[in-house]
């Protein structure tokens, strides 16, 4: 399933809804134009062996195809050592919904509900939550069963994720299957109480799943923010450097997965993510409230991060009412830099300066409950508290 054109063929054979597109890889830009004109613009070029947003370009008219086809192919070859690309009809302003799968070597396969992954930049996820406010129980059941069918079609065993696009009319389309554990898996752990890494190891050891589909109950709500060393004002460009000071909270509704500490050097050779902040709540409203409080307690000095963006995001009306789509960040210029947000950003900067000058020291992490230093590895072990 790592090859997306093969995955499309498997999904098609299993009668899974998909966006129209090429049956296989595209040979050249002329073939790409012919297919695009057949299915209608806009289309999206995707790397057949790709992931993480690389090797993808949206084409809205035929005179853009030659340039963008070559860019996507070269990017795919550089990232995946495979220049192969294919084309799909581009779904405008969708939701990105994925289902967590567990399958054992004895043929048992279940899903653990969905994750909402629509807050993205450059086709890469920034914030995830579980469950999704866009799905009711009926749609969740339908999509979940089809996700299991895809996994069953390839006799999948391990933890994996089946990803869909959901349009404004609640039509959904298979996008891909990721045959691995994903960055955002903690939000599923929070709402199910199931340690996915433990299950992955047990499955690899030949054990049968101890859960049936009817055993999976979704309880509460979880949100994950990917704290990246990036300059949001420069289009989320990487901002490597040394972590001079770091303060992380340890409230019972918070889980932090990280390996950094004060003195760590963030190098440009690796992914820019330096920590994951996961919060829980009894419902989405409480989870957002807790996310606001948690973000206010995280302070990192020495490199620019996505923290200021998240502090504004969780206060944004589109995010709070759940009406956002994958186009959210592209549309930020419509409301992100208006006077309301400029004032809010100025207030945050003033608060940040006060914290840095008056409260922060050289501690690795500060436990806000008792003022003691905490290892970042201890902060990772919070799933049982959820």
Packing angle between helix 4-13 and helix 137-153, nearest 10 degrees? 110
Q: Buried b / exposed e across 209-239, counting CB within 10 Å, b at 16+?
A: bebeeeebebebbbbbbbbbbbbbeeebebb
In a domain, 14, yes or no: no
Same domain, 311 and 275: yes
Same domain, 239 and 373: yes
- Alpha carbon distance 139, 347 (integer Å): 41
- How many other CB atoms are found less than 10 A from the CB of residue 158? 18
In a domain, 116, yes or no: yes
Per-residue pLDDT tens digits for 56-80:
999 999 999 999 999 999 999 999 9
Q: Parallel, antiparallel, or unpaired: how do β-strands 172-178 and 237-238 relate?
A: unpaired
- Alpha carbon distance 300, 108 (integer Å): 44
Same domain, 80 and 100: no
Per-residue pLDDT tens digits for 318-329:
999 999 999 999
Same domain, 366 and 237: yes
Question: Does residue 57 carry a catalytic annotation?
Answer: no
Same domain, 110 and 194: yes
State mean pLDDT over 255-278. 95
pLDDT on residue 11:
92
In a domain, 332, yes or no: yes
Same domain, 103 and 37: no
Per-residue pLDDT tens digits for 286-316:
999 999 999 999 999 999 999 999 999 999 9
Sorting pLDDT into bands at 50, 70 and 90, what band is 331? confident
Tally of domains in the chain? 3
> Which among 49, 67, 89 is the end of a domain?
89
Same domain, 244 and 124: no
Q: Of 163, 169, 99, nearest to 130 (Cα)?
A: 99
Same domain, 236 and 109: no
Does the pLDDT of residue 381 top 80, yes or no? no
> Which among 89, 112, 147 is the end of a domain?
89
Same domain, 298 and 204: no
Q: Report which of residues 18 and 332 the model is more confident about.
A: 18
Same domain, 100 and 83: no
Does the pLDDT of residue 378 top 70, yes or no? no
Per the CB < 8 A criterion, the answer to whether 255 and 227 are in contact is no
Per-residue pLDDT tens digits for 165-211:
999 999 999 999 999 999 999 999 999 999 999 999 999 999 999 99
In a domain, 267, yes or no: yes
pLDDT on residue 34:
95
pLDDT on residue 377:
46
In a domain, 5, yes or no: no
Same domain, 175 and 312: no
Q: Measure the CA angle with vertex 108, ends 106 and 113; round to 5°.
A: 150
In a domain, 324, yes or no: yes
pTM confidence score: 0.86
Per the CB < 8 A criterion, the answer to whether 327 and 168 are in contact is no
In a domain, 44, yes or no: yes
CATH number at residue 298: 3.30.470.20
pLDDT on residue 370:
44
In a domain, 81, yes or no: yes
Percent of the chain clearing pLDDT 90 (strictly above): 78
In terms of C-beta density within 10 A (0-12 exposed, 13-18 middle, 19 or more buried), how is residue 255 classed? buried
Same domain, 144 and 260: no
Query: Mean pLDDT, the chain, as a whole number?
Result: 89
pLDDT on residue 384:
42
State mean pLDDT over 368-383. 45
191 lies in which domain range? 95-215
Does the pLDDT of residue 367 top 50, yes or no? no
Sorting pLDDT into bands at 50, 70 and 90, what band is 361? very low
pLDDT on residue 374:
46
CATH number at residue 41: 3.30.1490.20
Per the CB < 8 A criterion, the answer to whether 69 and 45 are in contact is yes
Sorting pLDDT into bands at 50, 70 and 90, what band is 264? very high
pLDDT on residue 54:
85
State mean pLDDT over 74-102. 95
Q: Which of 54, 115, 140, 180 is catalytic?
A: 180
> Which among 165, 180, 215 is the end of a domain?
215
């Amino acid at each position: 399933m790592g090859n997306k054109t093969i995955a499309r063929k498997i999904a098609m054979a299993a009668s899974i809804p998909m966006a129209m597109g090429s049956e296989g890889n595209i040979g050249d830009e002329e073939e790409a134009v012919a297919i695009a004109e057949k299915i209608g613009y806009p289309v999206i070029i995707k790397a057949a062996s790709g992931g993480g947003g690389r090797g993808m370009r949206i084409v809205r008219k035929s005179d853009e195809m030659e340039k963008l086809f070559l860019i996507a192919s070269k990017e795919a070859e550089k990232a995946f050592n495979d220049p192969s690309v294919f084309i799909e009809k581009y779904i405008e302003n969708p939701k990105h919904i994925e289902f967590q799968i567990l399958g054992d070597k004895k043929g048992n396969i279940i899903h653990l509900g969905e994750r909402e992954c629509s807050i993205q930049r450059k086709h890469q996820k920034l914030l995830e939550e579980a469950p999704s406010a866009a799905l009711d129980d009926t749609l969740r059941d339908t999509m979940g069963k089809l996700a299991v069918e895809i996994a069953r079609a390839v006799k999948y065993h391990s933890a994996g994720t089946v990803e869909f696009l959901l349009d404004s009319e609640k039509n959904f389309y298979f996008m891909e299957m990721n045959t691995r554990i994903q960055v955002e898996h903690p939000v599923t752990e929070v709402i199910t109480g199931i340690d996915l890494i433990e299950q992955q190891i047990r499955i690899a050891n030949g054990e049968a799943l101890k859960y049936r589909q009817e055993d999976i109950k979704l309880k509460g709500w979880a949100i994950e923010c990917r704290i990246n060393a990036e300059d949001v004002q420069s289009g989320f460009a990487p901002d490597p450097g040394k972590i001079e000071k770091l303060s992380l909270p340890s409230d019972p509704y918070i889980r932090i997965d990280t390996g950094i500490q004060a003195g760590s050097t963030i190098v440009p050779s690796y992914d820019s993510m330096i920590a994951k902040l996961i919060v829980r709540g009894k419902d989405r409203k409480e989870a957002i409230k807790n996310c606001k409080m948690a973000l206010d307690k995280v302070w990192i000095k020495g490199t620019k991060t996505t923290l200021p963006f998240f502090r504004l995001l969780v206060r944004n009306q589109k995010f709070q009412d759940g009406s956002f789509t994958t186009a959210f960040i592209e549309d930020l210029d419509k409301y992100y830099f208006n006077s309301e947000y400029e004032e809010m950003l100025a207030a945050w900067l003033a608060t940040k300066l006060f914290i840095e000058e008056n409260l922060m020291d050289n501690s690795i992490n500060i436990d806000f409950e008792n003022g003691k230093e905490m290892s970042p590895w201890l902060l990772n072990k919070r799933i049982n508290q959820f």
